[in-house]
Structure 1
Amino acid sequence: MTTTTQHASAKQPPLHIRALRRTFRGLPPKLHDIAYEPGLVVPAADGSALLTDHYFPLAEGDFPTLLVRSPYGRGFPWAPMYGVLFAEQGFHVVLQSCRGTGGSGGTFDLWRHEAADGRATVDWLRRQPWFTGALGTIGASYLGYVQWALAADPPPELRAMVIQVGLHDLHGYFHPGGAFALERTLATSMGMVHQHRGMPRFLQAALRLQRHFRTITRTLPLGTAYVSGLGGRVPFLEEAMAHPEPEDTHWHGADLGSVAENLRVPTSLITGWHDVALDQTLQQYDRLRRAGCDRSLLVGPWTHNSAMQQGWPEVFAESLGWLRAHLCDDPSGLRTTKARVHVAGRQAWQDLPDWPPATTAHHWYLDGDGTLLPRMPENAPAPVSFRYDPADPTPSVGGPLLSGKAGYQDNTALEARDDVLTFTTAPLTEPVHLLGPVGVELRVTTDTGHTDVFARLCDVDDRGRSTNVCDGLRRLRPGPTAATTGAAPAAVTVPMSSAAYSFPAGHRIRLQVSGGAHPRFARNTGTGEPPATATRLLPAEVSLHHPSRLVLPVAGEEFTDANGADGANPER
């Protein structure tokens, strides 16, 4: 039985945490008053002290336990969002600082200790009188990664996981498409180095990075340029830059994607269409689906950050319903379908039996005059080219960013640049509904062999405003994927993430092709030098040859049934 007398060290959560809790809107009413025990010491297998806070309901009865492990400290935002809110709904919440952070002993080392430290924490839970043996995990971003680490050898008590905007592959996070993800890597590193030290130091660090950001992104070599913005050297960041290849032994054990292939723990996945973890989340879902694992997917009109801010009412409801169903035998909060996605263009939520649903691949061919044609041109158009100059890199506008203006943005000014090619359909005579992965199949030559190809799908409205839908980048190197000028073009496929999007009649579909999106991705210097040590800049001429085509997953008329419900407007 859980009573206040069993927790002699219990106290009310700090005043500022209680004040922050009152700022949340659109949440269910609390069921219990709560208390917490701060600074409990959980021994890791090697003896390191893992500092842990325990939140719990002030009520008699047996309550399941949620484990939250974080390298970002145990205060804001995790204390109010997880510790307080879920304890009020009838859960013990164990909120722990990963080793080397938030006062925990040992040295923080990306991914290498998470599985062992998670198992040690479950061993500690088994010795607590209030632990019933019903365990769930929850958390966002890297807090999702540690869940996959625990699930690699899941303890028998683990009955449910909720992974919010979470990742499983750290190499893929640092080097998506083969390019170094500069903007999000700097933001992530700043958070990991400073957030666990308290909010004042975190805010100071964020302001310092903001002041130095432009200088960092324009200075070579990157391996030393970042130091001024982060207040010192960051070993895991330098190691990530120094090891760009996924096969490098440095990354051994960093990709936990295979965990989902044999998992039997019911898992809820939550992401947004402009989340930096979208692609990895959908990969996780696909593997769970193939494994026959009980699963759920929610994709909202969110970025990585806004999912846990503006999207929190939907995210909290989804998470709470999943945890109650699998830890409390209360399925009343579950929907009847496995997937629920927000459809931009319609501004509606759509329930789907699974993801991705059945669609038909529609091909739109790139013509030499900048049009997209619904069928292959009868006469092969001449190649079209652009010059990418890393000294004046093509900027990033919107999309999955951690800082700045993320999400849906006006791309009109970007498309006016000489280094951005656009291909546009005629005005649509009827709506086109996308549901699933988008891609482009190009035939490419380049004069240097070293270049990036950035492709983006946009919606052009009747006023000419071009809004990004989804995109992707692929780094090319000399060899089969990067034919040089004069040789036969190389076939290059650029995955452009997935989308749930309705293009209204009268709008136009547009494809952008360019040589980068800076500083979202570190610019391709054109020399083939490693990103950490490159010091020279070499422009590249990139040509697109026939046949090149955009591939869209188009849903049938059944998509427009009454299944969709009004939802939040996308962030524009």
Structure 2
Amino acid sequence: MLHLLPDLLRTLWALVLRECPGRTLLSRASSARAAVADHLWLVAAVLLRPILGGPGPFERRCFSRALRLDPPSHRVEVRELATATVNGGKDVLRATLWLPSGVKGPLPTVIIRNPYGSPYRTDWGQVLLAERGYAVLLQDTRGRFGSDGDFVPVEHEREDGLATVRWAREQPWCSGRVGVFGVSYLGLTAWAAVGACGEGELQAAVPVATTARVRSVLVQPGGAFSLELVVLWVTLVFQLLLLRRPDEMLRAAREMWSSSWWSRAKPPRPRARALTMGPLQQAVAAEEEDDEFWRGRDALCELRPGRRAAADGPPPPLHLVAGWHDFFAASQLADFELASRAQPACRLTVTPHDHWGMASLRGLQVAVRAGLSTFDAHLGDGGPAWGGTGRAWPPLRGVDSRPAIERALPVQVCFLGTQRWAGFGSWPPTQGAHELHATLTPAAELLWVPTPPKPARAEEPQAAPRTRPSAAAPAPAPPAPPAAAPAAASSRVAALVRRVSRLGAPSSPGTGLLEPAPAAARLGGAELPPQLPALPSGASLTYLYSPSAPTPACGGPSFNILNGGERSQASVERRRDVLVFSSARLPEPLTVAGPVGLTVNLCEGMLRLRAPMDAASGGAQVNLCEGMLRLRAPMDAASGGAQVGGGVDGPGVEARVELGPVAAEFPRGSRVRLHVCSAAHPRWMRNLCDDPRVPLGEQRTGMAAKVRVWVDGSSRLVLPSIPSEARRGVGPL
């Protein structure tokens, strides 16, 4: 539990860093004191386990106190089993069966399928569930540790999950009511079982920090690839976890850190180059989701209307647990929107964590309760009603202090910024929801403007050509894009990373807030005028991007345990290859809940020389959400590169970027910020500005690129806002 020490230190500083906010200093102090007490119980449990040689009664009581659960009702016994046979009977999947000691079966059963091993050293949920009356089958996936066969990520999980569920239902210790549970890759195996099983074979599923569709996590629109996630995960699974001694793990981690080619702007080394060839190169080249490479690897559970077989029926009752800064978040919330249409007993809980933060104490408290309450409701005979647990749980800060009617709503989210919990009837929230539009201005401001009418069209493309206005022409309204984007002869990577951020410290005053005037649209307590003020026609801002020094990824949905979640963006804002747009101070608190979008008009040209550029400055801030789009452009024979929008003096293109879902509360006096840049290295594969026709493993650093962004009223940020009375969250997490 390497995350324990920094997590405890963060809690000790919670009162100063306002991670435990409240209406008064006394309430913040009380919240921080309770968090420290929970962590001390966790420290006691961690120290006792190696002393006792495994789970013991006192150690388990300490762990339950840390998670704010009821005390264990049973001791646990373990059996090692050979379970289902797969691959035509050639391979046997092996597992450990965890049972409550002294309880006669049959019992409701939970299946956890795990590629990471260490069933006795790591609690993947098997001990917590077994000591509360469940039979838990913890199985090694095919080709991992005790199981036979070859491990190919996600490829065989549907087949193996179905075989395991059917095998478990035939065992004398199983009551016939089966659920699946898992975090991260273990959640992928849970989704695979849901997707493969027919109606009635599964009674509940709790996927945590995971998704039903793999491709959307690894490949972004246009084909940009999540390099950091793939390399770190492959290293973790195929190298670090195969080592037994701690000193071997530390030595391997040090070598990986010193040779981390993926974090530098250098050509890949031979071992790393091997990762970019073969399956990885096929994944990048397979730009369509129906491509042969992704067929059978993408959709672990088909939730889209018309795609799921009628014989399979609706999915079982689900409880999805996500984190706002997790790289699975956008896909997981999309899974909930689809699943809730087919299955009314579908719940969603979103915490403020990143991927590794889901393993922190606060993340575990929420995830474990979600699993126990779901399994209690749907696996037991005559169990508690939906939304209740029937267990005497100590109150969880911020979650249980709200009215029961709100806690019973199917969507529970923690707002970034204030850390307050709120319940909604659906996601995204619809009660009082409206869009707030902010246009990008030549003064690097976000200017709040009235919402333009939406044109009636069946489908919106990702990028559309745009005509550059002349200097004498009046300021145009945002153009309506054509029905389809033009075909491109070739492509190059032009990643655009956007972050909507909450300021952590004041900065220079802005002039973007409009004076109050009678209108229907409102921003907090200020009204917006009905017309957009005139902006200079053809106005634009430029920056120079150099592939040899790519813009770094700072915080957000990163798989790097040292660079995920909320991070100060001060170092990023000082760079010359980032445009920073800032709003004026908010006159009233602003609540944002839903998907954030950006429409930006830009073009790019290939340059052989560096050009000086002004650096955008601003106060300290933290990130909320981000998105990225890879633009396609034809090759230019004169420059030898691909030029987006016809080059730096061309007409440009209109690009629409989804920045992902978010729920955040902006206090009065804070600002909203937007970053526009061309890389987020090493999270996304580096933008090389090179010939896209060159194979992936042979690409080298190309020439610098000058990017021009139009700020004449045609580039806009769209925030989904809800009134403060639409949510009832009280108390911090």
Is TM-score (shorter-chain normalized) higher than 0.5?
yes
Q: Which residue matches 2:466? A: none
| Alignment of 1:426 onto 2:589 | no
| Alignment of 1:368 onto 2:429 | no
Over 3 Å counting, the alpha-carbon distance change for 1:519 and 1:362 in structure 2 is same
Q: Which residue matches 1:193? A: 238
Correspondent of 1:211 among 258, 261, 266: 258
| Alignment of 1:383 onto 2:540 | yes
Cα drift, residue 377 of structure 1: 4.0
What is the alpha-carbon distance in structure 1 between the residues aligned to residue 147 and residue 284 of structure 2? 27
| 3-state secondary structure, aligned to 1:474 | coil
Over 3 Å counting, the alpha-carbon distance change for 1:181 and 1:530 in structure 2 is farther
What is the alpha-carbon distance in structure 1 between the residues aligned to residue 564 and residue 646 of structure 2? 35
What is the alpha-carbon distance in structure 2 between the residues aligned to residue 236 and residue 55 of structure 1? 37
One-letter code of the match for 2:434? T
What is the alpha-carbon distance in structure 1 between the residues aligned to residue 628 and residue 315 of structure 2? 34
Aligned ranges for residues 145-544 of structure 1 at < 5 Å? Answer: 145-155=188-198, 156-177=200-221, 178-194=223-239, 196-197=241-242, 200=245, 204-214=251-261, 217-221=264-268, 224-225=271-272, 236-237=279-280, 239-241=282-284, 243=286, 246-256=289-299, 259-261=302-304, 262=308, 263-310=314-361, 311-328=363-380, 329-331=383-385, 332-333=388-389, 335-358=407-430, 359-375=433-449, 376-380=532-536, 382-403=539-560, 404-448=562-606, 464-478=619-633, 482-485=644-647, 486-527=649-690, 528=692, 529-544=694-709
What is the alpha-carbon distance in structure 2 between the residues aligned to residue 81 and residue 113 of structure 1? 21
Contact 2:191–2:301 (Cα < 8 Å) also in 1: no
Over 3 Å counting, the alpha-carbon distance change for 1:299 and 1:215 in structure 2 is closer
Over 3 Å counting, the alpha-carbon distance change for 1:338 and 1:160 in structure 2 is same
Q: What are the superposed Cα offsets for residues 89-118 of structure 1, whole Å, 9 maximum, x if unpaired?
A: 111111111111113111111222111111
Q: Which residue matches 2:169? A: 126
Contact 2:604–2:643 (Cα < 8 Å) also in 1: no
Point out where structure 2 has 5 or more consecutive residues left out of the alignment. Answer: 1-48, 309-313, 391-406, 450-531, 608-617, 635-641
Over 3 Å counting, the alpha-carbon distance change for 1:50 and 1:292 in structure 2 is closer
Contact 2:97–2:138 (Cα < 8 Å) also in 1: yes
Q: Which residue matches 2:469? A: none
| 3-state secondary structure, aligned to 1:374 | strand
Q: Which residue matches 1:92? A: 135
Q: Which residue matches 1:550? A: 717
Over 3 Å counting, the alpha-carbon distance change for 1:122 and 1:289 in structure 2 is closer
Comparing 170-179 and 218-227, the one that deviates more = 218-227
Cα drift, residue 357 of structure 1: 0.2
Cα drift, residue 306 of structure 1: 1.1
Comparing 468-477 and 15-24, the one that deviates more = 15-24
Q: Which residue matches 1:8? A: none
Cα drift, residue 220 of structure 1: 1.7
Point out where structure 1 has 5 or more consecutive residues left out of the alignment. Answer: 1-11, 450-459
What is the alpha-carbon distance in structure 2 between the residues aligned to residue 508 and residue 233 of structure 1? 41
Over 3 Å counting, the alpha-carbon distance change for 1:73 and 1:244 in structure 2 is farther
Contact 2:142–2:151 (Cα < 8 Å) also in 1: yes
Count, aligned residues: 537
Contact 1:53–1:74 (Cα < 8 Å) also in 2: no
What is the alpha-carbon distance in structure 2 between the residues aligned to residue 247 and residue 535 of structure 1? 29
What is the alpha-carbon distance in structure 1 between the residues aligned to residue 270 and residue 277 of structure 2? 10
Cα drift, residue 249 of structure 1: 1.4
Q: What are the superposed Cα offsets for residues 471-507 of structure 1, whole Å, 9 maximum, x if unpaired?
A: 1111111069941223322110111111111111111
Greater strand share, structure number:
1
What is the alpha-carbon distance in structure 2 between the residues aligned to residue 255 and residue 489 of structure 1? 34
What is the alpha-carbon distance in structure 2 between the residues aligned to residue 236 and residue 309 of structure 1? 33
Comparing 27-36 and 175-184, the one that deviates more = 175-184
What is the alpha-carbon distance in structure 2 between the residues aligned to residue 13 and residue 80 of structure 1? 14
Contact 1:67–1:135 (Cα < 8 Å) also in 2: yes
Q: Which residue matches 1:109? A: 152
Instruction: Let me know the Cα RMSD of the aligned residues.
Output: 2.8
Q: What are the superposed Cα offsets for residues 27-80 of structure 1, whole Å, 9 maximum, x if unpaired?
A: 321111111112534322422011111101112343210111122224377x42
Q: Which residue matches 1:456? A: none
What is the alpha-carbon distance in structure 2 between the residues aligned to residue 192 and residue 237 of structure 1? 16
Over 3 Å counting, the alpha-carbon distance change for 1:154 and 1:183 in structure 2 is same
Q: What are the superposed Cα offsets for residues 166-217 of structure 1, whole Å, 9 maximum, x if unpaired?
A: 1223222222343221222122112221465355365554343223225664
Q: Which residue matches 1:3? A: none
Contact 2:273–2:697 (Cα < 8 Å) also in 1: no
Comparing 50-59 and 32-41, the one that deviates more = 32-41
One-letter code of the match for 1:326? H
Contact 2:276–2:696 (Cα < 8 Å) also in 1: no
| 3-state secondary structure, aligned to 1:189 | helix
What is the alpha-carbon distance in structure 2 between the residues aligned to residue 97 and residue 235 of structure 1? 26
What is the alpha-carbon distance in structure 1 between the residues aligned to residue 300 and residue 707 of structure 2? 34
* TM-score, scaled relative to structure 2: 0.69
Q: Which residue matches 1:55? A: 98
Over 3 Å counting, the alpha-carbon distance change for 1:18 and 1:211 in structure 2 is farther
One-letter code of the match for 1:556? P
Report the identity percentage: 30
Contact 1:275–1:304 (Cα < 8 Å) also in 2: yes
Q: What are the superposed Cα offsets for residues 343-402 of structure 1, whole Å, 9 maximum, x if unpaired?
A: 122221111111110221100000011111112441335111111111010011110112
| 3-state secondary structure, aligned to 2:679 | coil
Contact 1:27–1:317 (Cα < 8 Å) also in 2: no
Cα drift, residue 119 of structure 1: 1.7
What is the alpha-carbon distance in structure 1 between the residues aligned to residue 250 and residue 633 of structure 2? 43
Correspondent of 2:84 among 23, 42, 50: 42
Comparing 199-208 and 30-39, the one that deviates more = 199-208
Structure with bigger gyration radius? 2
What is the alpha-carbon distance in structure 1 between the residues aligned to residue 684 and residue 321 of structure 2? 24
What is the alpha-carbon distance in structure 2 between the residues aligned to residue 216 and residue 384 of structure 1? 29
What is the alpha-carbon distance in structure 2 between the residues aligned to residue 565 and residue 106 of structure 1? 51
What is the alpha-carbon distance in structure 2 between the residues aligned to residue 160 and residue 81 of structure 1? 17
What is the alpha-carbon distance in structure 1 between the residues aligned to residue 706 and residue 443 of structure 2? 19
| 3-state secondary structure, aligned to 1:446 | strand
What is the alpha-carbon distance in structure 2 between the residues aligned to residue 271 and residue 384 of structure 1? 37
What is the alpha-carbon distance in structure 2 between the residues aligned to residue 137 and residue 249 of structure 1? 29
One-letter code of the match for 1:325? A
Q: Which residue matches 1:4? A: none
| 3-state secondary structure, aligned to 2:124 | helix
